[in-house]
Structure 1
Amino acid sequence: MGFLNYLIFRENYKREEFVLRENKRRECETALNAESLDVFGKEELEEEFRDCTAGDEILKKKISKDLELNIQVVKRIYKIPDNSDLVTRKFNITVKDKVLKGFIVFIDGMTDRVSISNNILQPLMLLSNLDIRENIHDIGEFIYNRLLPFNQIKKVCDFKEITESVNFGGCAVFVDGLECAFAADVKSWEHRSVDTPRSETVIRGSQEAFNEQLRANTALIRKILKDKDLMIESTTIGRRSNTPCAVMYIRDIANDSLVNEVLKRVKSINVDYIFDTGELEQLIEDNTFVAAPQIIATERPDRVATMLSQGNIAVILDGSPYVLVMPATVTEFLHTSEDTNIRYPYVNFIRVIRIIGVVIALLLPGLYIAVTNFHQEMIPTNLLFAIEASRENVPFPSVVEMLIMEFSFELIREAGIRVPGAIGSTIGIVGGLILGQAAVAANLVSPIMIIIVAITALGSFSIPSFSMSFSIRLIRFAYIILGATAGFLGIALGLTINALMLAASKSFGVPFLAPFGPVTKEKYSDKLSRKPIWKQEYRPDYLNPKDIKSQSKISRSWAVKNDKSEGEDDED
């Protein structure tokens, strides 16, 4: 009976009741409208009602000339002194024997204290004591133009702008007698420096990667693309997080309709919090239920710069080291930033290897199951006998054996990613070698199954995009089931359905299978294969760029001159 007592629900009457803020506000409004309240009860309800509506209404208030009233409003907004990282300080400004009271507020840890002291407080408290001969008609203009010339400062007239500035690492300065305040940009917080790429490593090419700071990321792109037409449109996302976001494009290349569509989707997001481009990608992509990714996420500034020069759009989010590039087509997930730095015979060979890797990662397990279960006549006799001999003591059907090995390998891969440091790589070695050998010795799986799963894993590792690799790993299980159910017919049915879904998919209005489905003009030369760099004259026509030509038809003038000079020598 003692154990059953733990399973019986008993309501806790001592716990504090949780009341939604909106319900509390309605209760206060109803009580205030009642006529039977005494004076003291009404004062308490009015105070409680002000607390409930402070977050909504107080931000709409205009800045008052009364400094003490402004101080009380700031303390009510930020719940000072309960909010411990808000720093407030009063000071005096002396202008022509007239003493004005001032007040400054900022968040500790997000601002540069040295800049506040040297460029704001010292000018206001010391320079204002100097001998000023001209008449001062407007104290606000005098402070703005004479005493605060060092920082990026703007005048604000309501508390909503004040909170936005303070929350973004700025400081707000109030002066008694002024109906405006001064918001100064003094943000300074710790952030990770520019590092090498972790998931998109290359041998030949830039070794810089994005970090979590928005302006550092935009500067990395501008350092590569020194183009006067490179535009950055800034906005904020998240009603509460107010995460800074930047949309980058080249004005005289990117299609206006595409730019407007990206801006519309980004600005129409209505969520409380958003912290990473992974969340943003899911909110602006065309189809959530398609396994294939529809937006490119990259950590390489050189790749973003290359795609911007082709007519794509980039979206950068503060706090995320990955930048989103759209639209995306299926071929771009098989390209890397290193492809442009390698001679075209080499890169075409590498791309063939990647395509073979995609086919292996997607179809090899399903084809093996289909052949061994339904189409044994396709296997050479000696190989068939060897496969059956290796599976003689295995108690599971081949499809169950394959699923066990695939799930085991996915488990090893996930463990290797989550375990920190150098232990992660050792987990992959231990899991792949020792556990595989032990499973074969225990007759749980056959040696041929270990080989199939290992080759499949190598094929998935050859895919440059992590998102595309993940989608192929996911779809691979469907092909295993189809191969075990109907053999080649099931795999053909799966390929047909998969092709139809991809053909119907779009990325910001651009067909996902472009330039193959629908077929576009043959001018664009960087598809599955790539022409020599001096023949890449055109940008992707499926993006409808304003300027379709990326270089002159004769980009190697020296070669033409040499040909002409050799012809003249022959005539002589």
Structure 2
Amino acid sequence: MGNTIITQIYESIKTLLIYKPPQNPKPFVLDEIEKGKSGHSGPRPEDGITSAVRELKTLVDYSRRLEEIMEKSIAAFRGNDLTSIERLPEEVEALKKVKDNTAPVLLSYDAAAQPLDKLVSPLLEENKAIIDRMYSSDINKDILIRRFELGGKQPIKAMLVFLDGMIDKQVLDLGVLQPLMLLDTGKTKPAGNELLTTIMENCLPSNQASPVSKFKDVADAINGGDTALFLEGVEQALTLSTKGYKQRGVERPQIEQSIRGSQAAFSEGLRTNTGLLRTMLPTNDLVTEILMIGDRIPQKCAVMYLKSLVNPDLVAEVKRRLKGISTDYIVDLGILEQFIEDHPAMIFPQMLSTERVDRAAVNIAEGRVALVYEGVPFVHIVPVTFFSFFHSVEDFSLKPPAGTFMRLLRIVGTLVAVILPSMYLGINYFHQEALPTELALAIAGAREKVPFPAIVEILMMEFSFELIREAGLRVPGLLGSSIGIVGAIILGQAAVAANLVSPIMVVIIAVTGLASFSIPDYRLAFALRITRFAFLLLSAMMGLVGLSFGLLVITVAMCSMKSFGVPYMTRVAPKTISGYDTLVRGPVFRQEIRPDQLNTQDSRRQPAISRKWTKEKPVGKKEEEE
């Protein structure tokens, strides 16, 4: 019977109606881990067997080490090797320490402990087993273990552990391996930890070398790009500075650009950034404390301050908050800020974030604390006030009138960016009598053909402007700025031509957008942009009364905020000693007092008369009198 149309229809209906098991394998589904199957949720049944195997392996290594020493002793006495005979007591003493570590109670405790909690063993094989367990060396190809022997008549087994890609191979070869492999152990009398000290002081040219006893310290050093040296019979490891991973160099500031002033910006390297700050502040009074942040993946955070100037309570509070963080991993200073700031629910920034080295140095010199985080090209300054975000490095590079004008311009631009759309909306809805008759008629005539109310008109333009701003940030290079300019022009012209918005609305939104760019700090500008939308809703409901209510609420909230013990609105509320550096930028030679709210150990920056040459007679007058 041929394959007719009827049979095809029949087969199709049969295929639809009759169930057939799927031929493809089941898709992958990420199920939850059952309790007891993960090594972190509790002890597994095979842990006891594994611990027993480790204990037995340790005893076997100790027996093998004892056998080697016995064979060396027999050979030394038969060959009348005086050098070897003199070294026998030292080796026996080292073996005795190994025997003390193989007591059943210690073995049982050590086998059950986590690798990071263990102490460095005098047995090289035991240390290798711990390293293998810590870094999963059977599958992890980043960890490298280099075995070798210290030369001479009495060779000593050694082991180097490092991460590939994190070290400088030339430093490792010439500064570590070559001196160690050429070392004559026959001339080196000490053994045990004394041998490690002798090697560190007389053999290795590395600029940083320190002995450690815990594997936690060993892991921190290896993860940071250092190399760990283990020696047979030595209860300590030696960490050597061999860092060589690639880092971005010092470049020009990309966000906080300036005409005058330093052109150096921070990079991702912690030590690069601390070095840049020390270049700007060449004094022994500058202190750098490094703390580890993160439980599972610890990262370095440097706390920098001038010891003789900063308030000790401020430093203690900063360190207390940093040490009180308990989380797996912090990747950025912005995340760290949310863990330690006083008011995490407030949208206003409570730390000053800067990429400029000179700006961070100036704040440290005033008595503040700088936080430098590994892998972040920004530095956070604490404590700060609301007016600190309107200051720029160029304010002091220019004359006082120019610096004051720029600061007042930023304040006016901030007010315009926050309240201009809300004022227009409130006047348009509730207070038309506040406008001159001619202006009110002009606005009404421009909006005659617009089918939407003013609130919809403003929100459409605001969201369009925000989309253009976001697109300009996300598109790389010069194309982003081009998209922003062209998009704004085309969108505004097309919206007016289509009678979707009025021309006056395009002008208001354009002025508001330009005014928002006058705010120096990006995070403060973002917070004020969000506040602008809240003010729009209040103005739409209650007019200028709603706008005034919103401004009052924001002012009260900001006056109640603190940044590491300093009131956020200082020097306005509460009132403090004026230093000619809040809104008005006074002459530098008149700023004798440091910011009063910091309560530094030395409040005086300079004497009352800093230009002492003005009290002296000119050189020509002195010569005439003589």
> Is the structural similarity TM-score above 0.5?
yes
Identity of aligned residues (%): 41
Residue 332 of structure 1 pairs with residue 392 of structure 2: no
**Counterpart in 2 of 1:141?**
197
**CA–CA separation in structure 2 for the residues paired with 1:289 and 1:221:** 32
Structure 2 counterpart of 1:560, one-letter code: K
Is 1:433 the counterpart of 2:447 in the alignment? no
**Aligned equivalent of 1:189:** 245
For the pair 1:541 / 2:596, whether they are aligned, the reply is yes
Rate the CA distance shift 1:420–1:107 in 2: closer, same or farther, 3 A.
same
Do residues 420 (structure 1) and 420 (structure 2) align? Answer: no
Matched, 1:526 2:581: yes
Q: Matches of 2:520 and 2:358 in 1, distance apart?
A: 15
Q: In the alignment, does 2:230 pair up with 1:216?
A: no
What residue identity is the alignment partner of 1:557?
Answer: K
- Equivalent residue for 2:518? 462
What is the CA distance between 1:47 and its match in structure 2? Answer: 7.8
AA aligned to 2:342 is D
- Residue 59 of structure 1 aligns with which residue? 116
Q: In structure 2, what is the equivalent of residue 75 of structure 1?
A: 132
Counterpart Cα distance in 2 of 1:510 and 1:28: 46
Question: Counterparts of 1:348-427 in structure 2 under 5 Å?
Answer: 348-427=404-483
SS at match of 1:514: coil
Report which structure shows greater RCO (CA 8 Å, sep ≥6): 1
Distance in 1, matches of 2:371 and 2:416, equals: 33
- In the alignment, the residues of structure 2 paired with residue 21 and residue 157 of structure 1 have an alpha-carbon distance, to the nearest angstrom, of 34
Aligned counterpart in structure 2 of residue 166 of structure 1, from 192, 207, 222: 222
Which of 471, 487, 499 is the matching residue for 1:443?
A: 499
Cross-structure match for 1:559 = 614
Do residues 276 (structure 1) and 276 (structure 2) align? no
Whichever residue aligns with residue 33 of structure 2, its letter is V
Give the counterpart letter for 1:128 in structure 2: D
Which segments of 5 or more consecutive residues in structure 2 lack a partner in the other structure? 1-14, 20-24, 55-109
Deviation at 1:398, TM superposition (A): 0.2
TM-score using structure 1 length: 0.90
1:99-118 to structure 2, matched below 5 A, reads 99-118=155-174
Structure 1: which 5+ runs fail to align? 6-10, 34-41
2:100 paired with 1:86:
no
> How much does 1:25 deviate?
4.8
Distance 1:359 1:215, change over 3 A: same
Could you tell me whether the CA contact under 8 Å between 1:327 and 1:508 is conserved in 2? yes
Q: Distance in 2 between matches of 1:206 and 1:80?
A: 47
| Greater mean deviation of Cα atoms: 172-181 or 192-201 | 172-181
The one-letter amino acid of 1:520's match is T
- In the alignment, which residue of structure 1 is the partner of 2:9? none
Tell me, yes or no, if the aligned pair for 2:206 and 2:240 is still in contact at 8 Å: no
1:254 is paired with a residue of what secondary structure? coil
User: Per the alignment, in what secondary structure is the counterpart of residue 616 of structure 2?
Assistant: helix
| C-alpha contact 1:28 1:45 (8 A) present in aligned 2 | no
Counterpart-to-counterpart distance in 1, 2:333 and 2:42: 41
Contact 1:336 1:464 in 2 (8 A): yes
Further displaced range: 120-129 or 273-282: 120-129
Take 2:469 and 2:608, find their aligned partners in 1: how far apart are those partners? Answer: 48
| Match of residue 156 from structure 1 | 212
Check conservation: 1:370, 1:483, Cα contact below 8 A: yes
Check 1:309–1:85 CA distance in 2 against 1; reply closer, same or farther (3 A cut).
same
The verdict on how the C-alpha distance between 1:20 and 1:510 changes in structure 2, with shifts beyond 3 A counting, is: farther
Q: Is the 8 A contact 1:86 1:107 kept in 2?
A: yes
- Contact 2:288–2:302 (8 Å) recurs in 1: yes
1:26/1:139 CA distance change after superposition, 3 Å: closer
In 2, Cα distance between equivalents of 1:46 and 1:393:
87
Deviation at 1:139, TM superposition (A): 2.8
1:501 to 1:18, Cα distance in 2 relative to 1, 3 A? closer
CA distance in 2, matches of 1:220, 1:533: 25
Larger radius of gyration: 2
Deviation of 1:142 after TM superposition, in Å, equals 2.8
**CA-to-partner distance for each residue in 1:522-543, whole Å, 9 max, x for gaps?**
3x22111111111011101111
The answer for the alignment partner of 1:319 in structure 2 is 375
Q: CA deviation at 1:283?
A: 1.1
Indicate how the Cα distance of structure 1 residues 87 and 25 shifts in structure 2: closer, same or farther if over 3 A, else same.
closer
Shift of 1:492: 1.0
Q: Which amino acid aligns with 1:59?
A: L
Contact 1:64-1:179 within 8 A present in 2 as well: yes
Counterpart for residue 19 of structure 1: 33
Q: 1:43: how far off? A: 4.1
Residue 38 of structure 1 aligns with which residue? none
User: Hey, what's the Cα distance between the residues in 2 that align with 1:32 and 1:461?
Assistant: 63
- Could you tell me how far apart the structure 1 residues matched to 2:338 and 2:242 are? 33
Secondary structure of 1:201's match?
coil
Q: Alpha-carbon deviations, 1:346-378, whole Å to 9, x = none?
A: 111111111110110110000000111111111
CA distance in 1, matches of 2:340, 2:36: 30
Q: Which residue identity does 2:531 align to in structure 1?
A: I
Q: CA deviation at 1:340?
A: 1.2
Q: For 1:520 and 1:66, how far apart are their aligned partners in 2?
A: 65
Over residues 476-508 of structure 1, what are the superposed CA-to-partner deviations in whole Å (9 max), with x where a residue is unaligned?
011111111111111111111111101100101
Moved more, 405-414 or 232-241: 232-241
> Do residues 342 (structure 1) and 398 (structure 2) align?
yes
Aligned residues of 1:32 and 1:46 also touching (Cα < 8 A): no
CA-CA distance at 1:199 after TM superposition: 0.8
Offset at 1:240?
Answer: 2.2
Q: Which residue of 2 aligns with 1:206?
A: 262
* 326 and 56 in structure 1: CA distance in 2 versus 1, 3 angstrom threshold: farther
Aligned residues of 2:36 and 2:44 also touching (Cα < 8 A): no
The 3 A distance-change label for structure 1 pair 483 and 563 is farther
Matched, 1:239 2:253: no
Give the Å deviation of 1:16.
8.1
Superposed displacement of residue 258, structure 1: 1.0
Supply the distance in 2 between the matched residues of 1:481 and 1:147 (Cα, whole angstroms): 73
Equivalent residue of 2:161, what SS?
A: strand
CA distance in 1, matches of 2:121, 2:439: 88
Code of the residue aligned with 1:67 in structure 2: it is L
